Amino acid sequence: MDGISKLFLDLRQSKAALEQAFYRSLDSSVIRSGLEHGTALRLWEVLGEGRHFQCFKLPGRGELDLAVLLAKPGFLQADSRQRRAWAADLQRLRSLNHPLVPPMEVMEDAQFFAYVQPCCEAEQNLAGLIQDALHDLHNSLARIGLELDDYPQLRRCQGHPFVIDFSELKRCPTAGFRL
């Protein structure tokens, strides 16, 4: 068995355990209540923010702390077709079952749009076989017509590496020419 195959086998096993912990820790009603009533903005720790999302840490009600990525008003109020397309692309990403894609759930309402994943705060270096796995993720995304139009932010959750930011997930431009 070559190095990348062993790495993928190991990562798939650790991801399966993390997925179970994620779904045991996920309480949609607590998250929805926090987002609907604004308690999230007052009580949850802000981990960071980008152009489209602000990331909050929700202390674990189970085995894992969760990251709640809440759309900023500009993204929330943007063209709803674009937001729905991005959410559909996120679902396609989830279907890859790639070891570097964290378990995640999309939550939306008239007042908010968010996605939730495990909170991964530890840095992950981009050396050796992890680079190969990241290259495989890039190729897997291309096969389903997607690309991550940003540098991949790798972090670890309980020793497992994940790409943590998919806010710049985009559809690949189609090849060819127009008349």
Q: What pLDDT is attached to residue 177?
A: 47
Q: What pLDDT is attached to residue 65?
A: 94
One-character DSSP codes across the chain: --HHHHHHHHHHHHHHHHHHHHHHH--HHHHHHHHHSSHHHHHSEEEEE-SSEEEEEE--SSSS-EEEEEEPHHHHTS-HHHHHHHHHHHHHHHHT--TTSPP-EEEE-SS-EEEEEE---EE----THHHHHHHHHHHHHHHTTEEE-S---EEEETTEEEE---TTEEEPPPPS---
Q: What pLDDT is attached to residue 116?
A: 95
Tens digits of pLDDT across the chain (179 residues):
566 688 788 888 889 999 999 999 999 998 998 888 877 677 889 999 988 899 999 987 778 999 999 998 888 777 778 778 888 999 999 888 899 999 999 998 888 889 999 999 888 877 777 888 899 999 999 999 999 988 889 999 988 999 999 988 999 876 544 44
At the topology level, CATH places domain 3-171 in Transferase(Phosphotransferase); domain 1 (1.10.510)
